[in-house]
Chains A and B, each alone.
Chain A
Amino acid sequence: MQEAIKVEHLSKSYGNLRVIDNLNLSVKSGTVYGLLGANGAGKSTTIECVLGIKKADIGTVSILEHDPQKDRTHLFQKVGVQFQESSHQAEIKVGELCEETACLYKNPTDWQKLCREFGIGDKLKSEVKNLSGGQRQKLFIVLALIPNPELVFLDELTTGLDTKARREVWKMLSKLKDEGLTIFLTSHFMDEVEVLCDEICILKKGKAVFYGTVDQAKEQSGCTNFEEAYLYFSGEEAEAE
């Protein structure tokens, strides 16, 4: 199977603080990969280094066989990104933001249809700042899917969504995965990870402490519940006590 993302020996420091420490990732095409870890474990920085937005100190990254630093314009025709913080022009409307995003790509998807599928089809004329947290989150997932991507990065994809909306998003993503989309996500919801992810990596203070499947994580930790297995690896359980 082809590799959609290959990361080798990635390290990144801010001053003396090492945020990512010798990280290796391999994401196969057509799978869902979950990057887990506590707040501040280095998930977002990892995504930014992988995308080439931040420059890693050492290590190599290849996405869909492109170097993200050198080959930005070609790469991002095929890659959609949802950042953790949603950023948009102050007074822009939903439809305008979608249109403005779609026009940047060669073969964009039908964003009106996509908005309807995500349940925000009636919001196109609303200003983005007036959406609820959940609607905005859905909108930014839509934006990441507009390029008709082969690979999509979703940073905390369902934060702010209610239970029903989260399930709807899972369903949409599973459908897209069946159509061949590769998904790289971060999440704090272990039920979500269990449902969606084929493989996971757990980060603790910038170091990968576990690579494998959800079942392997349960097995290695001796926990029957995945959330406990996650806490076992990420060390959050011990710190909480």
Chain B
Amino acid sequence: MNSFKTLLKNELKLNFRNMNMVIFAIIIPVIVLIVLGFIYGSKPAAEGMEYTFLEQSFGALCTISICAGGLMGLPLVVSEYRERKILKRFRATPVSPTKLLAVEFTIYVLYSIASMLILFLAAVAFWKVRLYGNLLAFFGSWFLTLISTLSIGMMVGGIAKNTKTASMIACILYFPMLIFSGATLPFEVMPGIMQKIVSVFPLTQGIQLMKATFLGLSVSSEVVTPILIICVITILCFGISIRYFKWE
């Protein structure tokens, strides 16, 4: 456990020094919040709605840092460590691949938590956003979105041949998910056929869940299927990333 803490501390320091994640997972979401805040302020999401546009978008805002960490940060750092032969050096030590992956995983969980807290505090302070739904249910759907996205990233990082492949796969996953799953472009404005297509992204399901739980909308029984899909994807990706982990 001690080695986990030391590794986490050092890797976190290195990650900060690199600044990429600070920008993409902390600063960018805040900028998007500010922009949305200035445009929509405390306007309702639609005519006659009791919740505001910002409140409706809050869940999606939280996923920006989840995407940055899970689909960019995590796969790239793991594949970079493999390419730079850092993993080879670890191979000749007693550390287990599970522990190394867990350390990197935890880093991006921490970024996502930090991002969510900052967004929430800022949104409450400046635009009087409030949570209509159940706090635990919201956390639950946030957590589900987080681990499913990170598990995809871990699988990509775990099995990609080199940094180039990893970054290519990361881009293919990152940009469509970020743009089309409702994180930046609201799901509601998409045409019906597009909504159907983007529904296959676990992130889309996650955002819909987070929105419903944040706004306290009645969660229909249809929610069971997306939760199940997300869980299966998560377990599958974790399993693959550990089973097929490559040191070199």
User: Which A residues have a C-beta under 8 Å from some C-beta of B?
Assistant: 51, 53, 72-74, 76-77, 79, 81, 83, 85, 87-92, 96, 99-101, 103-105, 147
Is B10 among interface residues, defined by CB-CB distance under 8 A? yes
- Cα of A222 to Cα of B120 in the assembled complex, Å: 82
Decide if B10 touches A53 in the complex (CB within 8 Å): no
Counting chain A CB atoms within 10 Å of each CB, which of B6, B18, B248 scores highest? Answer: B6
In the assembled complex, which residues on chain A have CB atoms less than 8 Å from the CB atom of B17? 91
Which of B92-100, B169-177, B234-242 is near enough to bind chain A?
B92-100
**Knowing A53-B248, A104-B94 touch, does A89 contact B3 (C-beta < 8 A)?**
no
CB < 8 Å neighbour of B3 from A53, A83, A90, A103: A103
In the assembled complex, which residues on chain B have CB atoms less than 8 Å from the CB atom of A76? 92-94
Give chain B's interface residue range (CB within 8 Å of chain A).
20 to 34
Nearest CB of chain A from residue B203's CB, rounded to whole Å? 29
In the assembled complex, which residues on chain B have CB atoms less than 8 Å from the CB atom of A89? 14, 81, 84, 86
Is B221 among interface residues, defined by CB-CB distance under 8 A? no
Nearest CB of chain A from residue B9's CB, rounded to whole Å? 9
In the assembled complex, which residues on chain B have CB atoms less than 8 Å from the CB atom of A99? 6, 10
User: Which B residues have a C-beta under 8 Å from some C-beta of A?
Assistant: 2-3, 6-7, 10, 13-14, 17-18, 81, 84-86, 88-96, 247-248
Decide if B94 touches A88 in the complex (CB within 8 Å): no
Chain A, residue nearest B92 (CB): A81
**Knowing A53-B248, A89-B81 touch, does A101 contact B93 (C-beta < 8 A)?**
yes
In the assembled complex, which residues on chain A have CB atoms less than 8 Å from the CB atom of B18? 90-91
Decide if A77 touches B88 in the complex (CB within 8 Å): no
In the assembled complex, which residues on chain B have CB atoms less than 8 Å from the CB atom of A73? 94, 96
Decide if A53 touches B95 in the complex (CB within 8 Å): no
Decide if B89 touches A83 in the complex (CB within 8 Å): yes
Chain A, residue nearest B93 (CB): A104
In the assembled complex, which residues on chain B have CB atoms less than 8 Å from the CB atom of A85? 85
Decide if A96 touches B13 in the complex (CB within 8 Å): yes
Decide if A83 touches B88 in the complex (CB within 8 Å): yes
- Cα of A162 to Cα of B210 in the assembled complex, Å: 62
Decide if A92 touches B14 in the complex (CB within 8 Å): yes
CB < 8 Å neighbour of A87 from B2, B13, B89: B89
Decide if B2 touches A53 in the complex (CB within 8 Å): no
In the assembled complex, which residues on chain A have CB atoms less than 8 Å from the CB atom of B6? 99-100, 103
Decide if A53 touches B14 in the complex (CB within 8 Å): no
Nearest CB of chain A from residue B48's CB, rounded to whole Å? 53
In the assembled complex, which residues on chain B have CB atoms less than 8 Å from the CB atom of A103? 2-3, 6-7
Decide if B92 touches A51 in the complex (CB within 8 Å): yes
Q: List 22 A-B contacts (CB under 8 A).
A: A53-B91, A53-B247, A73-B94, A73-B96, A76-B92, A79-B92, A81-B89, A81-B92, A83-B85, A87-B85, A87-B86, A89-B14, A89-B84, A89-B86, A90-B84, A91-B14, A96-B13, A96-B14, A99-B6, A100-B10, A101-B93, A105-B94
- Cα of A200 to Cα of B85 in the assembled complex, Å: 28
Decide if A104 touches B85 in the complex (CB within 8 Å): no
Nearest CB of chain B from residue A124's CB, rounded to whole Å? 13
**Knowing A87-B84, A103-B7 touch, does A72 contact B94 (C-beta < 8 A)?**
yes
